[in-house]
Amino acid sequence: MKSKKNLIEQLKSLPHFNKNVIYQLGKSYNLTDSTLDTYISRYLKSKEIIQLKKGFYISADFLHKNKNDISYLFYLANILRTPSYISSWTALQYYDLATESIQTILSVAPKITKTYETKAGNFAYQSIQKELFSGFSLVKGNFDFYIASPSKALFDLLYFKTRQFRGVRFNAIEELVADLRIDFNEMEESEREKFYKVIETFLDKK
C-alpha cells in the first residue's frame, strides 16, 4: 500500500485535480485505472480528498492550508465552471463596497445557471447573455482568478435582481442602487460612470 500513500502525498501538493491527473500519476507506480478508482473511493471515504463535482477533486490537506486565502476559493470558482468570473455581491464585498456577509461565492457564466454545494464552500453561477460576458479582469497572486470590475459587478447584481432590467427605466437606477445598501459613493468616479453607461447602453438596445 506504499503506492497509495505516495500518491496521496503527490495529490496534496496540487490546488485541484481530476481523474486523468490521478491516472497519469498512477502510471509511475504501475497502477491500473481500476486500482486507482479503488484508491479514489478510499481517499474519499477517509476524507483525504474532497469531490467538488463529478471527477473534480481537491485534497483536504491543501484546502486546510489555504482555506483562509479567498483567492484560492475564487480560483476554484473559476476552474469549477469555465469560463466564468466572480461577480455580484461576492465581487462587491471583495472591493469593500458591500458589508453584508456572503456565504456563497457568486459567479457569472455564459452557460446555464448552476450551484455546487461542497465541503470547500458553495459556488453559484448565474447565466448571462454572451454579449454581456465582459467587464472582468485577471487578478494575479498566489492563485489567479477572474473578477468583475466594481461597475460590472453592480451591473450584474441588478441585471439578475431585476430579471434583465425588465420594466426598469434609466431614471429609476439610482433608487435601485440605494435600496441595495452598498457603499456606492465609495466606488471610484470612473467606475460609477461606467456603471451608468453600460446600463444606458443595455436599455437602449431593449
CA nearest 54: which of 116, 111, 119? 116
Confidence of residue 3 (pLDDT cuts 50, 70, 90): confident
Instruction: Give per-residue pLDDT as tens, 28-55.
Output: 999 999 999 999 999 999 999 999 999 9
Q: How far apart are CA 106 and CA 89, in angstroms?
A: 7
Alpha carbons within 13 angstroms on the beta-carbon side of residue 36 total 21
CA nearest 39: which of 10, 9, 4? 4
Instruction: Read off the C-alpha cell for 195.
Output: 456603471
8 Å CB contact between 57 and 49: yes
Instruction: Give per-residue pLDDT as tens, 168-200.
Output: 999 999 999 999 989 999 999 999 999 999 999
Instruction: Give per-residue pLDDT as tens, 4-24.
Output: 899 999 999 999 999 999 999
Amino acid, res. 11: L
Give the model's pLDDT for residue 102: 77
Q: How far apart are CA 116 and CA 122, in angstroms?
A: 6
Domains of the chain: 2-64 (1.10.10.10), 67-205 (3.30.460)
Strand order in the sheet with 49-53: 17-18, 56-59, 49-53
Q: What is the DSSP string of 70-124?
A: HHHHHHHHHHHSSS-EE-HHHHHHHTT---S---EEEEEESS--EEEEETTEEEE
